[in-house]
Structure 1
Amino acid sequence: MTSFPILDLVAGLIFIYFLLALINNSCIELYSTFIQLRAKMLEEWIRTTFAETAHAILDNILLSGLTAKGKSTHYMNGKNFAKAVAEQVYTAIQKEPATATTPSPAKPLGVSDIDGAIASTSFPEPVKKLLRNFVMKTHIQQKITDKMNDAEHFEEQIEQWFNGIMERLSGRYKRKTVWYTFFFATITTLALNIDSLQLANFLYNNPEARQKLAGAAYSAAQDTTYINKVNDIQQRAKALAKDTSSSDSVKQLALSLNRVVNEVKKEKTNMETTVATLNMYIPIGWPDKSFDLSIKNHGPCWGVVWFGLKKIGGLLMTILAICLGAPFWFDVLGKVANLRSSLKPEDKKK
């Protein structure tokens, strides 16, 4: 019999929350894959900002080559976006009637050429004004350094603007995923009937189950399988913050059809494995036997009320715990495991 039942109980609960958070993360990954939220937000911004010219920008070969025809792009490199926007300006220069001041194909474009062409584009007025500001900055930078020509300076300004917008879109995406996390945490908790109060009571009154679960929890803290899962979740979270400005993230986030199928199979397997692990240690699912016990102890009326209050409180505790995420609980589990292993043998005998 363990000398630290409360510590083992806490470790067991933390391990369960960690497993539930893994299930929740799999649900969010599947949902995000199917609805293509990142791609939709990116395309919505382009269409809102550039109006009738958005179609030409999205169809630009520099961008359309990154995704299948008819699909929204998950990824857009800042340099490619800048070239696609600048291409609309350069096209306007080519359409202008030939004059003595019109640059030849061999002559680099100057500030005056770019500024004059902006007015000829179909960009909305706010975008034209913004691009003219970039031209002014280009003129100033060109006086400071001669390392790049005016066109390169101009495209660099557009790229910096795009990267700043993408940081804001990433923030919007993260705020949306907070609600998805809560939604799927609620679904997971209700589907499996994981009541924290009932679970704590079960583990407290069942030493054998508590010890088995605690042992699994301490082992999981050093298990490379779980460590790799947590690292994968953290890497995906970091990729989200730069999925539109990093060349590495396209490999992770621009999902082809085969990648989607593989993701679905992977997350489905993860969920099934995690649920099976939970089933090994605790009673999960419906019906809830505690309802009959509540009626027996408190009577038909108060039994229902008491059961309802405890059930709502217990389920809500589980939902909030899941929302903290698998990396959080795995980190806490590691600290509890270290605390347990640091106890001296003579302390355990007391």
Structure 2
Amino acid sequence: MNFGAALDVAIGLIFVYLLVSLFVTALNEYISSFLNKRSEFLLQRVQSLLGGDGSETRSGDWSPQMCAVWNHPLINALKSHNLAEDHGTKRGALLKNAPSYIPGKTFAVALTETLKPSETAHLSFAQLKTAVAGIENNEPLKAALLPMLDDAEGKLDVFQQNVATWFDRAMDRTSGTYKRWIHRLTFWAGFAVAVAFNVNSLQLIDNLWRDPVARAGLVAQASQSVQGATEARDVEANLAAPAPTPAPTPAASAEGDEATAPECACDGGQSAADLAQDLPLPIGWSQEGLCALVHEPLSSLPPSKRPASACKTPYRTGWSATAKILLTLLGLAITGLAVSLGSPFWFGILQSVTNIRATGIKPDRADGTAQR
């Protein structure tokens, strides 16, 4: 087995996964923003913390504490529009106006002030304890706040910190729920993109293994992309780290400009997506590709009997057509599953594999600078 060719196939496949993952990530952000999923998960969690069961958005049965906290000026300031809302607000308008995030400290202050009697200017701890004990028809919220009062030992700021910690931990669980939803969305979006553009992993592997030109071109573009990202990160790190130096002499300045010019020069080459389209990769649907699902391949016929088009070859037998379609669906599903891992995962893998191909990372110079 040719290990070098196998490694190049892996690099090319990973690079394709990275490109599709970037596209799917942008698609996911659009879908999530269009559906207001962050706001929906946040609203459901706030309703749950304030004594609801998560169904209030549809049923319209908000607790008094939920209405008071949700319409508090500190929470309203985080909304798209400073509007008062309650169970009568339509769900679409409610989610569109709801914030995506609420700081724990802001929630704690808003909840504390909603418990303050209307005639009280400054809330004391004793008044707060009386207000919590007097909560009616909301036993879950009352049961959650009473232990925080006991733990505060008579200090209002400690109670607010306890509430903020309680809220932040609930938001961590909400974040986990949202990430699981995004993960499922990423898989189905990746599968849909793979079907739409015919990004078949099995077909890609076969094509890259058989076609050294496409394999070499894709590997070169992958290596160039990794190197460009590494150089951009190094430049960003150098700009972030203050390192004052004495003013250079004119000669030294000219020499430095000449030395740094190649690194700062813009690369006018093709983008990864453009190159992937130009390379002879089996990506995208064509009449020949569709015919290959139900017709015998041209290679199965002797050269003297091969027609001009794959669509004119004999139809596959029942088992042959079924196997071809199942393998195509399997290859598309593999792409969707791979894309669901996310672009950061594939970029990290691509860096590691390209370093292996380049015989490892060069050691730093004696002065501590990295070698190019």
TM-score by length of 2: 0.68
- Taking a change above 3 Å as real, the CA distance of residues 61 and 9 of structure 1, as seen in their structure-2 partners, is same
- Of 272, 275, 278, 2:276 maps to 278
Q: Which residue of 1 aligns with 2:102?
A: 76
Q: Which residue of 2 aligns with 1:192?
A: 197
Moved over 4 A (4+): 225-228
Relative to structure 2, which stretch is displaced further, 45-54 or 295-304?
Answer: 295-304
- Taking a change above 3 Å as real, the CA distance of residues 53 and 209 of structure 1, as seen in their structure-2 partners, is same
Read off the aligned partner of 2:156 and give its amino acid letter. A
Q: Deviations over 1:66-120 (max 9, x none)?
A: 222251011211111111111122126x37xxxxxxxxx57x613x322212234
Give the secondary structure class of the aligned counterpart of 1:26.
Answer: helix
Q: Which residue of 2 aligns with 1:314?
A: 331
8 A Cα contact 1:291 1:307, kept in partner: no
Partner Cα distance (1:324, 1:49) in 2 = 32
- Of 324, 334, 340, 2:351 maps to 334
Partner Cα distance (1:156, 1:206) in 2 = 63
Give the secondary structure class of the aligned counterpart of 1:221.
Answer: helix
- Give the total of aligned pairs: 278
Q: Deviations over 1:150-192 (max 9, x none)?
A: 2222212211211111111111111111111111111110011
Partner Cα distance (1:23, 1:225) in 2 = 21
- Taking a change above 3 Å as real, the CA distance of residues 88 and 151 of structure 1, as seen in their structure-2 partners, is same
- Taking a change above 3 Å as real, the CA distance of residues 276 and 52 of structure 1, as seen in their structure-2 partners, is farther
Partner Cα distance (2:144, 2:351) in 1 = 51
Q: Which residue of 2 aligns with 1:6?
A: 6
Partner Cα distance (1:78, 1:49) in 2 = 12
Which has the higher relative contact order, 1 or 2, with Cα contacts under 8 A spaced 6 or more apart?
1
More helix as a share of residues = 1
8 A Cα contact 1:53 1:122, kept in partner: no
- Of 118, 129, 134, 1:115 maps to 129
Partner Cα distance (2:328, 2:285) in 1 = 13
Partner Cα distance (2:134, 2:124) in 1 = 16
Structure 1 position 227, deviation (Å): 7.0
Q: Which residue of 1 aligns with 2:162?
A: 157
Relative to structure 2, which stretch is displaced further, 170-179 or 66-75?
Answer: 66-75
8 A Cα contact 1:218 1:337, kept in partner: yes
Which structure has the bigger radius of gyration?
2
8 A Cα contact 2:203 2:282, kept in partner: no
- Taking a change above 3 Å as real, the CA distance of residues 152 and 316 of structure 1, as seen in their structure-2 partners, is same
Partner Cα distance (1:45, 1:60) in 2 = 17
Q: Deviations over 1:189-227 (max 9, x none)?
A: 001101111112222222212111111111122122997
Supply the RMSD in Å over aligned alpha carbons. 2.7
Partner Cα distance (1:279, 1:124) in 2 = 60
Read off the aligned partner of 1:5 and give its amino acid letter. A
Structure 1 position 330, deviation (Å): 1.3
Please list every run of 5 or more consecutive structure 1 residues that lacks an aligned counterpart in the other structure: 96-104, 143-149, 232-272, 344-350
Relative to structure 2, which stretch is displaced further, 122-131 or 304-313?
Answer: 122-131
Q: Which residue of 2 aligns with 1:127?
A: 141
1:289 partnered with 2:288: yes
1:66 partnered with 2:82: no
Partner Cα distance (1:323, 1:49) in 2 = 31
- Of 117, 142, 147, 1:91 maps to 117
Give the secondary structure class of the aligned counterpart of 1:90.
Answer: coil
Partner Cα distance (1:63, 1:123) in 2 = 24
Please list every run of 5 or more consecutive structure 2 residues that lacks an aligned counterpart in the other structure: 51-62, 84-96, 237-270, 301-313, 361-372
- Taking a change above 3 Å as real, the CA distance of residues 190 and 275 of structure 1, as seen in their structure-2 partners, is farther
